[in-house]
Amino acid sequence: MANGKFKYEGVNSEGRSVQGEIAGKDVRHVKRLLRRKGIRAKKVSAPNPLDIDLGMWMVEKGLAKAFGKAELNRFTRQLSILINAGVPILECMEILAKQEQNPSLKATIKKVMDDVGSGKSLHEGLSSQKGFDKLYCSLVKAGEAAGILDTILVKLSEFMDKQEGIKKKIKGALTYPVIVVLIGIAVVWGLMVFVVPQFVGMLKESGQEIPAVTQFVIDTSNFFQDYTLYMIPGGFVGSILFLNFIRSKDGKVKWDRFTMKSPVFGDIIIKGNLSSFSRTLSTMLSSGVDLLESLEVCIDTVDNTQIQKDLKLVRQAVMKGQSITEPLGRIKYFPPLVNQMVKVGESTGNLDEMLLKVADVFEEETEEAIDNMTKLIEPAILVGLGGMVGTVLIAMYLPIFMAAGGAG
């Protein structure tokens, strides 16, 4: 007989009432499995063949889309509200599972509910599921230990909102120039393939001498017409190879170093990552997580491998007994004024509060760098595109003007 999902109610080894679902062949088999887990079953319900959990089925078959940051944030906020209202964790999970529309998150909540029902803590249940990173689970663990889980969840939700906002700004800043350049390439391609050939026909009929600049544009147009069918798949393959390269371990390290040193994007990448690191570290310290564990978790939240490497050296120095300000001061791109702020926070015992201010400083500077980049790149791209279009038009009309001048 195939395994089915049996619902159960019982008492664990600590005398706590537990409930949940467990896979088994029959009721006797399920009771035997529960005894191994230290649970004395009071009630076991056989699965209803008509009661199909479509969401769970989609997840098991790999058809359900994984839940994202927005769904996780909503779950976190709703859980904090229920806990604050005095609802037991198990009941909270049951309520949230029933109302959740995302199949993947719904299935995940049910699995966590089973773990909690079998006597595990919430952070243990979450840590065994995909979608809950080390930072999330560490903060939940700290909240459970301190008895302030609802407060920690609110803080975690606000933190995720802030982090997602920063990431969207940086992503938008890096994407905008690429889109404009692609549009520019499309415009130039259209001119070369559709507009220039019409002028070429007119020039051949007139028998006029073709200037060098006009001949260059005509040759470029011929190149686009002859090789466009090769350029498109070539560009597609090249893009895939490039993406695979920067996703590889060695490729990502080289790409991260290059982007950090780039004159326009480097400042945004550095300050955006340091803002994320400072805010994460502040959130963890204020939640009661010790400095070394906080640093370990925070380093994983940084996207740039070079910055990760530098921050790992900071953690190693702290492990050896140094204050956090000493190794931070050795990072060339970490501003001295900001390092001084961290030093004051460390000496006064308010490191978490000062790191939050540092995060705000870096965030403001990131936004300023994005604005400056937009002001710099936008006119440069427009001038460049205008120059290319203007050159094409002048080159095509130049023989006509020369012919008119000669006739005069």
Cα 87 from Cα 64, distance rounded (Å): 30
What is each CA distance from 181 to 187, 188, 241, 278, 397, in whole angstroms? 10, 11, 20, 34, 26
Q: Which amino acid is at 205?
A: E
What structural domains and CATH numbers belong to the chain?
1-51 (3.10.20), 53-132 (1.20.81.30), 166-408 (1.20.81.30)
- 200-233 pLDDT, tens digit per residue, is 877 777 677 788 888 888 898 999 888 888 888 9
Tokens 């803002």 label which residue?
275
Q: Are 19 and 36 in contact (CB under 8 A)?
A: no
pLDDT value for 62: 64
Lowest mean pLDDT among 18-22, 118-122, 155-159, 300-304: 18-22
- 327-363 pLDDT, tens digit per residue, is 988 988 888 888 888 899 989 989 999 999 999 988 8
Query: What is the phi/psi pair of residue 15, to 5°?
Result: 85, 10
If DSSP codes are grouped into helix, strand and coil, which group holds residue 129?
coil
pTM of the prediction? 0.71
**Residue of higher predicted confidence among 57 and 125:** 125
Cα 278 from Cα 298, distance rounded (Å): 8
Query: What is the phi/psi pair of residue 26, to 5°?
Result: -155, 180
Cα 295 from Cα 142, distance rounded (Å): 15
The secondary structure element, H or E, covering residue 154 is helix 149-190
pLDDT value for 57: 60
Q: Are 29 and 8 in contact (CB under 8 A)?
A: no
Q: Which residues are bridge partners to 18 per DSSP?
A: 10
Cα 328 from Cα 313, distance rounded (Å): 9
pLDDT value for 3: 60
Half-sphere exposure of 115 (CA within 13 A, CB side): 16
pLDDT value for 351: 92
pLDDT value for 1: 47
Q: C-alpha angle 293/297/299, rounded to 5°?
A: 115
**Residue of higher predicted confidence among 61 and 22:** 22
In which band, very low, low, confident or very high, does the pLDDT at 94 lie, cut at 50, 70 and 90? confident
Q: Are 293 and 138 in contact (CB under 8 A)?
A: yes
Inform me whether the pLDDT recorded for 170 exceeds 70.
yes
Q: What is the CA radius of gyration of the chain?
A: 31
Rounded percentage of the chain residues whose pLDDT exceeds 90: 23
Q: Which amino acid is at 180?
A: V
The sign one gets for the Cα dihedral 338, 339, 342, 347 is: negative
- 259-314 pLDDT, tens digit per residue, is 888 877 888 888 888 888 899 899 889 888 899 989 988 888 888 999 999 999 99
Average pLDDT, the chain: 85
Tokens 């995302």 label which residue?
102
In which band, very low, low, confident or very high, does the pLDDT at 383 lie, cut at 50, 70 and 90? confident
Query: What is the phi/psi pair of residue 90, to 5°?
Result: -60, -40
